[in-house]
Amino acid sequence: MDALITADNTWTLWAILLTAAALGTWGERTALGARFSGAVITLLTTFALSNLGVIPAAAPVYDTVWTYLVPLAIPLLLFSADLRRIVHESGATLMAFALGALGTVMGTVAAFYLIPLGEQDWQLAAIFSATYIGGSMNYMGAAEAVGLRTGDLLTAGIAADNLMMTLYFLLLFTLPSLPWLQTWYPTPLLRDTPSLDGALTLEPPPTPHLHLSSLLTGLALSSLICAISFALEAELDCSGSGILILTALTITLATLLPRQMAKLEGAHEVGLILMQVFFAAIGASANITVVLTVGPVLFGFAGLILAIHLMTLLIGGKLFKLSLPEMVVASNANMGGPTTAAAMAAARRWDSLVIPAILCGTLGYATATFIGVALGSGLKS
């Protein structure tokens, strides 16, 4: 069934995405909304609209958000990230990321033997393991690498991936808010986790004094960083490296010129706005109808992988004394890559985890396809 609002109705879709983002930020001011964050409210809003047939599950507008708004947001969120002050935080998040990757591999092996997928089971195992180690960017790369070009399976797999990512993000946002789970793990306050502004707190920073000159300078600099980074990606012919390059450039500037970058007041808030729109696009792209119609078994396949992934991460996190924020951000990096992990860290005001989220996510981008193909080939034999 066609959506009430078609994919080419660009202005209307932009209005819906921005309205959902606004609803999320307003809803976060309520008692219930503050418990689960505005990002969850935004995501649920567009998820409901998509699955009720109001908006389409795929549209050029969503592609624009993924391709342009998210890269633009990352430098804005990192202008105050002096690496010398927070680099020690990457270690624990990286450990959590590795535990998550191990859990994905174990989950894929279990799903392969417990849920039959036919002759192309090893190829699907390769694709889903790559996707849940390094994010959705690895989906098509792994599919091409293992030679899976069956349209129905790929379409159903993408739909299952989008749906599971949406539901899993909701779970990840909820986990740190569960009192009984909080008692199992150390908290960032107890572990002296610094925020980007140096305060030992996870509370939102005070509202900055916004000036048009600072906002425009921040946007201009972020755009320039993106332009240089993706030009280098094209020159190097290394797909997916643009995010890593722009992250490295921004961190270098923030570390070498911390005082100058601190003058770009309001950049962080603009980055949060762009990321809120990104969550709206994520929710809109998760279409449950396609999954239930074309490949419901893939939903169970993906769900089992994620369940074992999360179980492994929680058990390992307990053994290695990791905090819930570190684990859920690392898991997000496994599932969605650097952009979604950074968005989650920013949305929850875990400022010290934004850089580790991006670094772990880009590591997943670089390695997940190789791991997934190797695992799938091993299962085939």
Domain harbouring 57, CATH code: 1.20.1530
The pLDDT assigned to 192 comes to: 36
Residue 284's closest CA among 59, 108, 114, 57?
Answer: 57
Model pTM score: 0.69
Domain count, the chain: 1
The pLDDT assigned to 21 comes to: 93
Kindly give, in sequence order, each residue whose CB lies less than 8 Å from that of residue 361, ignoring residues fewer than 6 positions away: 134, 135, 243, 333, 336, 337, 338, 339, 340, 341, 342
Q: Please report whether residue 5 resides in a domain.
A: no
The pLDDT assigned to 88 comes to: 57
The pLDDT assigned to 203 comes to: 37
Q: Please report whether residue 193 resides in a domain.
A: no
Q: Please report whether residue 202 resides in a domain.
A: no
Q: Please report whether residue 313 resides in a domain.
A: yes
Q: Please report whether residue 141 resides in a domain.
A: yes
Q: Please report whether residue 48 resides in a domain.
A: yes
The pLDDT assigned to 177 comes to: 82
Q: Which residue has the tokens 């270690």?
A: 91
Q: Please report whether residue 16 resides in a domain.
A: yes
- Tokens found for residue 106: 């174990």
The pLDDT assigned to 315 comes to: 96
Contact 129, 375 (CB under 8 A): yes
Task: Divide the 381 residues of the chain into consecutive groups of 10 and give the mean pLDDT of each group.
Answer: 89 97 87 70 88 90 89 85 62 91 97 89 93 82 77 73 83 86 70 36 47 89 95 83 82 87 85 87 77 76 95 94 92 88 85 86 83 91 68
Q: Please report whether residue 190 resides in a domain.
A: no
Structural domain boundaries, residue 316:
10-185+220-380
Q: Residue 5, Cβ neighbours under 10 Å: how many?
A: 17
The pLDDT assigned to 110 comes to: 96
The pLDDT assigned to 41 comes to: 85
Residue 363's closest CA among 142, 165, 95, 83?
Answer: 95
The pLDDT assigned to 204 comes to: 41
Contact 327, 350 (CB under 8 A): no
The pLDDT assigned to 202 comes to: 33
